[in-house]
Amino acid sequence: MLKPRSLPCLTLAFASSLIPIRASAADNWIEVRSPHFTVNTNAGEKEARRIADQFEQIRQMFHSAFSGLRVDPGQPIVIVAAKNENTMKLFLPEEWEVKGHIHHAGLYQPGEDKDYVVMRLDSEGENPFHTLYHEYTHALMRLNFTGLPLWLGEGLAEFYGNSQLGDKQSKTGTIDPGHLYLLQQSKLIPIETLLEVDHQSPYYNENNRASVFYAESWALVHYLMMDKDARQQQLLKNFLNEWQKSGSQVQAAQTAFGDLKQFGKRIEAYARQQSFMVGLVKSGKEATDKSYSVRNVSPAEALALRGDFFTHHNRLELAKPVLEEAAKDEPNLAFAHEALCYYHYRQHELSEADEEIQQALKLGATDFAPQYLHGMLLLQQGRLDKQSAEEARKSFEKATQLNPLFAPAFEGLSQAYARFPELEKEAVSAGIKAVQLDPGQHVYAINLTYLLMNSGRYAEARTMAQRILAAARSSGEKEVANNLLANIQQAETWAAKKQSLEAASRESGDSGNSPGPNSVVIAKPDGKSQPGVTSSPQIQLRHRGFAADGAISSAECSSSSELFLNVNLGKGLVTFHATDLGKISMTWADGTAEPSLETCPQWKGRRVKVWFTATPGKEYAGEITALFFF
């Protein structure tokens, strides 16, 4: 995936002025829909069908090679097939903004509601779409695996990126001459080092070393998947099994591959051989089905398509004028308003986004994305009153019905259900579905753990937290998982104490000084008194209600201990309130600064978990019952 570059504003403004808003009037755009892809092109129906065929073939190749894996992302894949360089300039102007910049034949741009593919049809070379196949492989791997080792993920993407597609069969593992040259001319990375390369490693980031890393990763994956002995011994499967157990790639490799120095020599000899086996995958019936629908695309819709791609490609300064022009040319075009909604959504302009999505729905938008965006806007605006929560719930339910594979809609649905105490089980079920559909989204697993914990399902919450810890690859991810486990232990302690005290209260018949049914007596882990409460090691804490966590955007504490806390929950700011800071529970992780009323102005930027009760009709989302600072 190409990343947008940072250029001075003056350069961007000048470059933007050279980019025409609309293409030539002679360009007639059409749309071809195959069973799993949508192709938009100005090169005619024949070319559109050919591109749709190619992507159906590579999808079928994965389906045949990995029958147990999912091959369809939840979000649709929209392919823009540009007939020539002039059309490509309209979509990727940054590649012509600087003299000498490389001009790519294709780009895969993942997005929240859809993935875009932009490709140039007049590109030359044996496999001009290597990058597309490479990134498509990554997209499919993310659907099925969490935290694959970097060498394995990139090696698989290179292995399939150079595939050769055909009507009757496709070839995988074909040779990239550039890789062979590097493998024969360069000093290879030691296996122990290759296994532990991450995104911060110079072997991955530096241009003069990244190529060797990619080439060697390809060679190692090629050996594991194509060498006769490696296949018979199931080396790749054994490595993955051992890695899941230990969490150490080196330890897993030593168990699966044996002595790593000897194994490294074997890979070096394999990488420098003159001939390689290739895999043959027969094309299935789906790949040869040519019953595709075709329709003409209006000039305004072609404009809206380009503007929507700019938004997904993080060229927001280019998106707005193109989208506004499309809506002006064809005011009743629902897609133009949907695309404008997504633009404002990305800009955190929530009221403008809501206005556009309402217009798109009035104009008959029937896809899942408008329903999903409408629900997200309701949640992000912090309107937690019952009517808005109910509207958000219905929007997410429609989105999941229209697209049962779209994980973000199930995640949104779990948040909407969580607003209703009677829908606690449904909230957990929707959270589980989101994790199942997109196991690579770390935040879904974390949110599900909180839902389980808030529901009193501590054993399941602990299992989720342990899975998160096992999948953690960075110190930050491990810290989050360990904090979750600590929170679960603390919540279990609180629940046990509450049950014990309520039982004692019932036995004694004394209700005067005992905690009420919605209270629990807890002890701070170190036995010390909490800030702003009595010196007793026990304090009263009201029923915790909902929970959320994020970075503090601002904190306002008055002299009377009243607190307004703005927290970024990932998609926008939400305000929480506490009437008296001294009457809520505040705990903090080891090694973090102790929070207090005096340090309140310095809380900005700190991560916090907020337990709160909903406050319908208030200007804030909820009343704080407890805070935990990471």
Q: Quick one: pLDDT band at residue 131, thresholds 50, 70, 90?
A: confident
pLDDT tens per residue across span 169-178: 778 888 888 8
pLDDT tens per residue across span 339-391: 999 999 999 898 999 999 999 999 999 999 999 999 999 888 655 578 888 99
Q: Quick one: pLDDT band at residue 185, thresholds 50, 70, 90?
A: confident
Q: Tell me, yes or no, whether 180 and 149 share the same domain.
A: no
Stronger pLDDT, 591 or 96, i.e. the higher one:
96
- 6: in domain: no
129, pLDDT greater than 90: no
Rounded mean pLDDT of 388-403?
94
Q: Tell me, yes or no, whether 58 and 99 share the same domain.
A: yes
- 329: in domain: no
| Residue count of the chain | 630
Q: Tell me, yes or no, whether 36 and 122 share the same domain.
A: yes
- What sign has the CA pseudo-torsion 604, 605, 608, 614? positive
**562: CATH:** 2.40.50.140
Q: How far apart are CA 262 and CA 466, in angstroms?
A: 35
Q: Tell me, yes or no, whether 534 and 411 share the same domain.
A: no
Q: Quick one: pLDDT band at residue 71, thresholds 50, 70, 90?
A: confident
Q: How far apart are CA 82 and CA 122, in angstroms?
A: 8
From 55-64, 329-338, 441-450, the region with the lowest mean pLDDT: 55-64
- 604: in domain: yes
Q: Tell me, yes or no, whether 27 and 81 share the same domain.
A: yes
Q: What is the count of structural domains for the chain?
A: 5
Q: Quick one: pLDDT band at residue 507, thresholds 50, 70, 90?
A: low
Which structural domain, as residue segments, surrounds residue 179? 175-213+223-277
CB 217 within 8 A of CB 193: no
Both tokens of residue 23?
């293409």
- Provide φ and ψ at 584, rounded to 5°: -110, 160
**422: CATH:** 1.25.40.10
- pLDDT for residue 536: 26
Q: Tell me, yes or no, whether 550 and 534 share the same domain.
A: yes
Q: Quick one: pLDDT band at residue 126, thresholds 50, 70, 90?
A: low
- 11: in domain: no
Last residue of a domain, one of 386, 420, 436: 436
- pLDDT for residue 289: 54
Q: Tell me, yes or no, whether 529 and 551 share the same domain.
A: yes
Last residue of a domain, one of 436, 453, 474: 436
80, pLDDT greater than 90: yes
Q: Tell me, yes or no, whether 153 and 26 share the same domain.
A: yes
In the chain, % of residues over pLDDT 90: 37
- 187: in domain: yes
Stronger pLDDT, 405 or 66, i.e. the higher one:
405
Calculate the average pLDDT of the chain. Answer: 81
Residue 574 burial (C-beta neighbours within 10 Å; 0-12, 13-18, 19+): buried
559, pLDDT greater than 80: no
- pLDDT for residue 95: 86
Q: Tell me, yes or no, whether 68 and 165 share the same domain.
A: yes
From 40-54, 91-105, 448-462, the region with the lowest mean pLDDT: 91-105
Rounded mean pLDDT of 523-533?
32
Q: Quick one: pLDDT band at residue 525, thresholds 50, 70, 90?
A: very low
Q: How far apart are CA 353 and CA 409, in angstroms?
A: 18
Q: Tell me, yes or no, whether 41 and 96 share the same domain.
A: yes
- 241: in domain: yes
Q: Tell me, yes or no, whether 454 and 430 share the same domain.
A: no
Q: Tell me, yes or no, whether 66 and 158 share the same domain.
A: yes
Q: How many degrees, rounded to 5, is the angle at CA 337 between CA 438 and CA 567?
A: 50
Last residue of a domain, one of 436, 457, 476: 436
DSSP 168: S
**156: CATH:** 3.40.30
Map 190-226 to HEC letters.
CHHHHHCCCCCCHHHHCHHHHHHHHHHHHHHHHHHHH
Rounded mean pLDDT of 313-341?
96
307, pLDDT greater than 50: yes
> pTM for the whole thing?
0.70
- 164: in domain: yes
- 346: in domain: no
Stronger pLDDT, 534 or 125, i.e. the higher one:
125
Stronger pLDDT, 22 or 302, i.e. the higher one:
302
